[in-house]
Structure 1
Amino acid sequence: MSLLTQEHELVRKTARDFAEKYVGPIARRMDRENYYPRDILRDAGKLGILTPTVPPEYGGGGGDLRSVVVILEELGRVSGGFSLLVEAYGVLFADALKNFGSAGQKEEVLPKVAAGEKIGAFALSEPCCGSDAAAIQTRAERRGGEWVINGAKMWITNGLYADYYLVAARTGPREARHKAITVFLLRRSSCVEASPIEVMGVRGTGTAELKFNDCSVGEDEIVGELNGGWRVLMHTLDVGRVAISGVALGIARGAFEEALAWARSRELFGKRLVEFQNAQFELAEMLASIETARALTYYAAYLYDVGSPEFLLMSHVAKLQAARLAVDVTRRAVQMEGGYGYSKESKAEMFYRDAKILEIGEGTNEVMKYVIYKLLEKSS
């Protein structure tokens, strides 16, 4: 049974053509200069690639999670940074607002974000708390008829340039943990202080530290329900874990394709590198890893699209394995290219650095294994 339809393959072609025409020429600039490709986002918006699941009436692609995965795979094959940027933009922000925002929030924000005119960011992680999201310290307190937000967020993709933030804030005692968290839609203003963070890979993604200084929002800017933010966050991250698996798949493909081309053209000891059995075995291992990640990622996305209760488990399995396999494939690609692979001229070197965040962001490998075991216990 094919997990993808003809429509998904048409989406793939659109994403691939876009990646090669628009993203390819600026991929190395993003990496070397930490360049944020604002104009390319507008081009992506015209094709619905930027917000794949947002309904067409808001300017989005109107697709399902398999469409998201296919798009991110094709973007990641050219640039891990651009693919991750779109994943955080289109899934963690736009899809979350589509699923949990009010009619007014969606009507105001989604068309601008889908078009790439305004940028959205998902603000959850904090200096104190990455894996333990229930321990966040950013607070929102009622003052008169408004909520006032104070606190700091860390590692926020698109955060440096965002016009809108989905901010997770504590709206009750710290002891209440996840039961006292609310998500707010916050517009960029002078109360938001954004500082760039230099990262190892996936550069050009506008990664930032954010500080909120008496940021005021109205009651109508709550996304979901008061003290019901945990549901918004967990659903969004579960979907995001499959989406970022698509990023992983693309990064692995990009590194593999360069390594294969290198092996076919590189000569040593009077033979092409690809004629040596060890090179053949390495390429076979890399391809097997990519196909394993592909099967898991597509299957997890399919389970979400059909509303299967198995989705939750498989979203974590796919994220764990796709991330690990991407790191391994890119490592093998660098090794195959030898000294060239260790140089900044090699795309494999860039993909290798890009891949590492996949084992950390949106749930570390350790968190994935913890959740998988908890779900195992629950089902037995």
Structure 2
Amino acid sequence: MTVDRILPSDEAYELLDLVTELADRELAPKVVDFEDRGVFPREVLRTLGRAGLLGLPYPEEHGGAAQPYEVYLQVLEILAGRWLAVAEAVSVHTLSCYPVATFGGEQVRKLLPDMIGGELLGAYCLSEPQGGSDAAALTTRATRAGGDYLVSGTKAWITHAGIADFYNVFCRTGGPGARGISCLLADANTAGIVPQTPERTMGLRSSPIAQIAFDDARVPVDRLIGAEGEGFRIALSALDSGRLGIAACAVGLAQAALDYAVDYARQREQFGQPLIDFQGLGFLLADLATQVSAARALTLAAARLRDAGRPYSIEAAKAKLFATDTAMRVTTDAVQVLGGAGYVCDHPVERYMREAKVLQIVEGTNQIQRLVIARSLAR
């Protein structure tokens, strides 16, 4: 199904056409094989990087494409419609570049060009085994030792663990609570950084997620992003943007599930007519199409606020909440539309359904999004 889009420039239309062609050629034919084998498509990410898709929202003077978030999110949507793990990889990498790009000083010139140049891949280390949603309670500690920090602790649920080239590490350099947290940028080959065995996940099997142990990992002081004690503010600011990325991934996944269900319902006949002509099924698909469009509109409205320099944190939470709940609903109903066929791996809707679940969890669970929105109403 063709999605009608209103974009801010002719260049943006050309970019989305390029991404669609690239996704159809490089992603769609490979997804089943890589998901079945549980292998991360590193070369596919390098291909996207060489096409300039790993630095889309960052400035041209540092090697980015200076695209508005409104456009970047629609790129993610297209990628997610072909291969969610790849779209998530682009989103996580973009999130991983955010601390340096936004809070770095001289680091912007020294580090950012390589980070967004296309060959490197980043990861974001915030969650811990005993502290997921309560990020301010993290216990990973960084202690000054001359010109370095010695980092010790364990991070959990880290996308790109073991394959990333650099890690944003949120750690405690001061006392308890949010004010004692700082952000360090560590090279993946740093001694003492030890990725653990990847988790066995329900979906996104081609995307490695694992704990990372830090055993007196030595990180130079000049890799401190911002000031000491500023890490929690950096983390929350980055997550606002990251939530928009996950919302866009959810829209792309939901659109793919809807398209597949519609095509199946048009071709499959029962009682002498296509399934889609039965009102009960046709109305269901109409509702799903409306929900996908609403999720896209909410996500892009938040992106436009971000692009305009306006507050968008609450709108990002709403977009993440609604888009990912929509993806879960649409993929579940898509399985139902296919009936027994939807439950077997010959059709992708069962994979879409498994993948949708994680989107309600990452970048802040949807319960946390509701908490954020409710608190904003109370204020």
TM-score, length basis structure 2? 0.94
**Residues 80 and 87 in structure 2, CA contact (< 8 A), matched pair in contact too:** yes
Equivalence for 1:63: 67
**Residues 148 and 219 in structure 2, CA contact (< 8 A), matched pair in contact too:** yes
Deviation digits for residues 155-204 of structure 1 (CA, Å, limit 9, x no counterpart): 11112201110000011122xx1111000011122311112122111221
Write the mapping of 1:65-84 to structure 2, written as runs, cut at 5 A.
Answer: 65-84=69-88
Equivalence for 1:33: 37
Q: What secondary structure is seen at the aligned counterpart in 1 of 2:132?
A: coil
Write the mapping of 1:225-264 to structure 2, written as runs, cut at 5 A.
Answer: 225-264=227-266
Give me the whole-angstrom Cα distance separating, in 1, the residues matched to 2:64 and 2:38.
Answer: 27
Equivalence for 1:116: 118
- 2:226 is aligned with what amino acid? G
Give the drift of 1:114. 2.5
**Residues 255 and 348 in structure 1, CA contact (< 8 A), matched pair in contact too:** yes
Equivalence for 2:375: 374
**Residues 186 and 219 in structure 2, CA contact (< 8 A), matched pair in contact too:** yes
**Residues 8 and 70 in structure 1, CA contact (< 8 A), matched pair in contact too:** no
Give me the whole-angstrom Cα distance separating, in 2, the residues matched to 1:203 and 1:51.
Answer: 25
Equivalence for 1:180: 180
Deviation digits for residues 9-29 of structure 1 (CA, Å, limit 9, x no counterpart): 333222211111111122112
* Residues 3, 43 of structure 1: alpha-carbon distance in 2 compared, 3 angstrom cutoff: closer
Q: What secondary structure is seen at the aligned counterpart in 2 of 1:167?
A: strand
Deviation digits for residues 139-169 of structure 1 (CA, Å, limit 9, x no counterpart): 0011233210001111111122011100000
Give me the whole-angstrom Cα distance separating, in 2, the residues matched to 1:360 and 1:339.
Answer: 28
Give the drift of 1:82. 1.1
**Residues 3 and 299 in structure 1, CA contact (< 8 A), matched pair in contact too:** no
2:334 is aligned with 1:295: no
What percentage of residue pairs aligned between the two structures are identical? 35
Give the drift of 1:102. 3.0
Number of residues of Structure 1 aligned to a counterpart in Structure 2: 373
2:206 is aligned with 1:204: yes
Equivalence for 1:145: 147
Give me the whole-angstrom Cα distance separating, in 1, the residues matched to 2:13 and 2:368.
Answer: 33
**Residues 45 and 86 in structure 2, CA contact (< 8 A), matched pair in contact too:** no
Give me the whole-angstrom Cα distance separating, in 2, the residues matched to 1:102 and 1:67.
Answer: 27
2:90 is aligned with 1:89: no
Give the drift of 1:2. 5.2
Deviation digits for residues 91-119 of structure 1 (CA, Å, limit 9, x no counterpart): x112332112233x334443333233222
Give the drift of 1:3. 6.6
Give me the whole-angstrom Cα distance separating, in 2, the residues matched to 1:244 and 1:66.
Answer: 14
Q: What secondary structure is seen at the aligned counterpart in 2 of 1:179?
A: helix
Q: What secondary structure is seen at the aligned counterpart in 2 of 1:122?
A: strand
Q: Which shows bigger deviation, 74-83 or 193-202?
A: 193-202
Q: What secondary structure is seen at the aligned counterpart in 1 of 2:30?
A: helix
Deviation digits for residues 274-302 of structure 1 (CA, Å, limit 9, x no counterpart): 12111211110110110110110000000
Give me the whole-angstrom Cα distance separating, in 2, the residues matched to 1:168 and 1:301.
Answer: 26
RMSD, aligned α-carbons: 1.6
**Residues 31 and 350 in structure 1, CA contact (< 8 A), matched pair in contact too:** no
- 1:46 is aligned with what amino acid? R
Give me the whole-angstrom Cα distance separating, in 1, the residues matched to 2:313 and 2:41.
Answer: 33
Equivalence for 1:327: 328
Give me the whole-angstrom Cα distance separating, in 1, the residues matched to 2:308 and 2:169.
Answer: 29
Give me the whole-angstrom Cα distance separating, in 1, the residues matched to 2:158 and 2:211.
Answer: 6
**Residues 52 and 64 in structure 2, CA contact (< 8 A), matched pair in contact too:** yes
Give me the whole-angstrom Cα distance separating, in 1, the residues matched to 2:202 and 2:109.
Answer: 37
**Residues 191 and 218 in structure 2, CA contact (< 8 A), matched pair in contact too:** no
- 1:148 is aligned with what amino acid? L
Alignment counterpart, residue 101 of structure 2, candidates 91, 94, 98: 98
**Residues 124 and 133 in structure 1, CA contact (< 8 A), matched pair in contact too:** yes
Q: What secondary structure is seen at the aligned counterpart in 2 of 1:77?
A: helix
Q: What secondary structure is seen at the aligned counterpart in 1 of 2:261?
A: helix
Give me the whole-angstrom Cα distance separating, in 2, the residues matched to 1:204 and 1:61.
Answer: 27
Give the drift of 1:135. 0.6
